[in-house]
């Protein structure tokens, strides 16, 4: 069996990120290495968890397994997988509250149940769990733990999730999933069951997609106000992520808000231009106007902004022991 090391585990996580999310990977290239490494671990663990729910048949068993893996990571006994080991080291070093990844698993549980959402507020409850939680975790990795910074990080995560939903309407429908608020569809004259049986885009559906993207755009604007609250070296990467994802929405708009017949993509040249534009985010700015966290995200902000517990001698010993074991033990990749 190959000998594992933290470097090897992180390399595996970066490879998973490179292949799984071109947008996140592109934006991460503007982040400091001290953030990229734990962010890659975070991405890998979340990506594998998402895949376990999306592609597994026994979804409740998969959820139980994920909760066990999370408990083991927080106990310092991660499963024998590079993502689990790297994730355990990252959450220990940066003090990531377990409430945040637990929120993500709650969102995955809602996916496993096949939930649909009657109102925008209900959809925001879901988006807070599957994406606001990731925004909060990223802010914690950067050391941005003030309520305002965390609220804006959650705004960005939720905005990205709403963009994902708008982009994937057709793909989701063909898989039997529907995330657009049902009340909106009824108001527009769209029969949700008929749409799922035969996904197609018409003016009514396009209007619902446009409405969702307007909500996302409002959150992108709020999130941009939080960029100056981040460490200077982290600002370009986070601003880039927001700009690139917002551009997905613009691409959908240019296509007549038809995300059933085609899946919107941002080309490499446009991404490069947005990455260059994001470099201006490193310049110091002031005058951001605080805004309350989304109600759906308040519990995430409260958990992440709570004072970190004093680290006991035993806790310090455990962290160093974990890194030592990662260097010397042989693990079988499950």
Residues 252 and 317 in one domain: no
Backbone phi and psi for residue 330, each to the nearest 5 degrees, phi listed first: -105, 135
pLDDT value, residue 22 = 62
Separation of alpha carbons 76 and 310, rounded Å: 17
Residues 2 and 82 in one domain: yes
pLDDT level of residue 289 (50, 70, 90 thresholds): low
Residues 49 and 133 in one domain: no
Find the domain containing 288 and state its range.
97-307
> pLDDT for 251-275, tens place per residue?
999 999 999 998 998 888 888 888 8
Average pLDDT over residues 183-189: 97
3-state secondary structure of 3: strand
Residues 38 and 85 in one domain: yes
pLDDT value, residue 319 = 41
Residues 201 and 288 in one domain: yes
- Give me the number of domains the chain comprises: 2
pTM (2 d.p.): 0.86
User: DSSP string spanning 50-72?
Assistant: HHHHHH-S-HHHHHHHHHHHHHH
Most confident of 9-23, 183-197, 264-278: 183-197
Residues 9 and 55 in one domain: yes
Residues 208 and 240 in one domain: yes
Separation of alpha carbons 323 and 193, rounded Å: 52
CATH number of the domain within which 251 lies? 1.10.600.10
pLDDT value, residue 124 = 98
Nearest alpha carbon to residue 300 among 131, 64, 141: 131
> pLDDT for 297-322, tens place per residue?
999 999 999 886 543 333 434 343 44
Residues 161 and 216 in one domain: yes
Residues 249 and 330 in one domain: no
- Tell me the β-bridge partners of 3: 330
pLDDT value, residue 101 = 96
What's the half-sphere exposure (Cβ side, CA atoms, 13 Å) at 271?
Answer: 17
**Average pLDDT value over all residues in the chain:** 86
Residues 77 and 18 in one domain: yes
Which residues contact residue 233 at a Cβ distance below 8 angstroms, ignoring those fewer than 6 apart? 31, 32, 35, 282
Residue 27 clears pLDDT 80, i.e. is over it: no
Residues 163 and 30 in one domain: no
Residues 112 and 260 in one domain: yes
């Amino acid at each position: 069996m190959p000998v594992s090391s933290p470097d090897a585990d992180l390399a595996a996580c970066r490879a998973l990120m490179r292949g799984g999310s071109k947008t996140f990977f592109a934006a991460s290239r503007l982040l400091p290495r001290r953030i990229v490494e734990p962010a890659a671990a975070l991405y890998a663990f979340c990506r594998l968890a998402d895949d376990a729910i999306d592609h597994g048949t026994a979804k409740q068993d998969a959820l139980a397994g994920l909760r066990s893996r999370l408990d083991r990571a927080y106990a310092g006994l991660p499963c024998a997988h590079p993502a689990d080991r790297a994730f355990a080291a990252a959450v220990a070093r940066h003090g990531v509250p377990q409430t945040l990844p637990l929120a993500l698993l709650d969102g995955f549980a809602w996916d496993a149940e096949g939930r649909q959402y009657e109102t925008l507020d209900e959809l925001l409850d879901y988006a807070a769990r599957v994406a606001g939680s990731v925004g909060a975790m990223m802010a914690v990795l950067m050391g941005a733990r003030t309520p305002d910074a965390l609220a804006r990080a959650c705004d960005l995560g939720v905005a990205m999730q709403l963009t994902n939903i708008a982009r994937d309407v057709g793909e989701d429908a063909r898989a039997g999933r529907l995330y657009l608020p049902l009340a909106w569809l009824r108001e527009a004259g769209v029969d949700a069951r008929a749409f799922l049986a035969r996904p197609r885009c018409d003016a009514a559906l396009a209007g619902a997609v446009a409405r969702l993207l307007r909500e996302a755009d409002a959150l992108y604007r709020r999130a941009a106000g939080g960029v100056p609250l981040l460490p200077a070296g982290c600002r370009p990467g986070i601003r880039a992520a927001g700009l690139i994802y917002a551009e997905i929405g613009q691409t959908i708009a240019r296509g007549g808000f038809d995300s059933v017949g085609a899946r919107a993509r941002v080309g490499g040249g446009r991404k490069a231009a947005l990455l260059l534009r994001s470099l201006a985010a490193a310049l110091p700015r002031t005058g951001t106007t605080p805004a309350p966290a989304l109600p759906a995200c308040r519990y995430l902000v409260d958990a992440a902004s709570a004072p970190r517990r004093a680290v006991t001698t035993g806790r310090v010993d455990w962290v160093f022991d974990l890194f030592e074991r990662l260097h010397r033990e042989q693990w079988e990749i499950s």
